[in-house]
Chains A and B, each alone.
Chain A
């Protein structure tokens, strides 16, 4: 398995533009997590899905952020409009959750820079 796949790996955009980050979880995993990592705030859970259904989005900073999981193999995190303070590394992680296996597997991350 290729592991969790994220795209793009790097994104540079101007303030006010829409940004879409993509994630493909490991096949067979039924939970998917989106995180944001910054020096100041560390790793923050933004939202997680279980069986493609958003369970808790209380970590989403504001209405400019939205996430979808239309099927078991694809999820997006969208920021519209983007702001400089959104600059961070965004990680997607997936987990099996079956058979007592709760290990999360992280993707390589998307480094977002908003100028």
Chain B
């Protein structure tokens, strides 16, 4: 089955700096890679996603890159703000966009 590794597990950055979270996956058939943000006590919410036919996608301060050959994808947050503090999860979907494996999560702390 699919194995998704995510690192780092915790990340502290100064407000205004960039944050990068990386994930690797094992199943070459995986074809959809979303990133979720989960604030304490709340539900995961999609912040950005990328499909296997695209190498990069950007939405304002958030970007995701995908390297299919190396089987890794990364989340980039620029100009971080205190409200970016949360746990971020990567995920890899296969099997018709239904079989999903999540990374263990990265706790991001943005220090004002």
Contacts and interface: CB of A to CB of B under 8 A. Distances in A.
Interface stretch (A14-22, A66-74, A106-114): A106-114
Interface stretch (B14-22, B57-65, B94-102): B94-102
Interface residues on B, range: 20 to 34
A12 interface: no
Given A102-B93, A103-B34, A109 B43 contact: yes
Contacts, number: 44
Nearest to A44: B102
Interface stretch (B44-52, B68-76, B78-86): B44-52
Contact of A56 (B34, B42, B45, B99): B99
A106 B46 CA distance: 9
Given A31-B98, A50-B98, A102-B32, A42 B46 contact: no
Interface of A: 31, 33, 42-45, 48, 50, 55-56, 58, 91, 97, 102-104, 106-109
